[in-house]
Copies of this chain bind each other. A is one copy, B any other.
Amino acid sequence: MSGKINLAEKFAGFTAQWTPKIVGEIDDYDIKLARIEGPFEWHAHAEADELFLVVEGEMDLELRDRTVSLVQGEIFVVPKGVEHKPVASAECKILMLERKGTVNTGDGAPGARTVAAPERI
């Protein structure tokens, strides 16, 4: 059985942006943390919803028809198949819940920002 997960301690363990870290799991889902800043790329995950929780800071989730702005303590679940583009004007710390095997850049061909095998911390 895994131990408890202290979010502040986990974030203190890395500084790189856009490199999601796996910190735990629930059934077939990974609990991931990331530091994000600037614009990411448009992508979608056809097979599974994706949960975003802002732990510190603020971010936008651009969707094709609107933008969802999130601050600390706010959650948004991107439904499966919906294109989205995360953007943060300053560094933002987020928790994501994703089905195992979900790739950060979505279902398209891997690119420069793809993290195929996130580190476990």
Listed in ascending order, the chain A residues whose CB lies under 8 Å from chain B are 1-8, 24-27, 29, 31, 48-51, 55, 68, 70, 73-77, 79-80, 82, 97, 99
Q: List 14 A-B contacts (CB under 8 A).
A: A1-B79, A2-B77, A3-B76, A4-B68, A4-B76, A5-B75, A24-B77, A25-B77, A26-B77, A26-B97, A27-B49, A27-B80, A31-B75, A55-B73
- Secondary structure of the A side of the interface? strand
Report how far A35 CA is from B71 CA in the complex, Å: 22
Q: Which 6 A-B pairs have the closest CB atoms?
A: A5-B75, A26-B49, A4-B76, A7-B73, A26-B51, A27-B49
B4 touches A74 (CB 8 A): yes
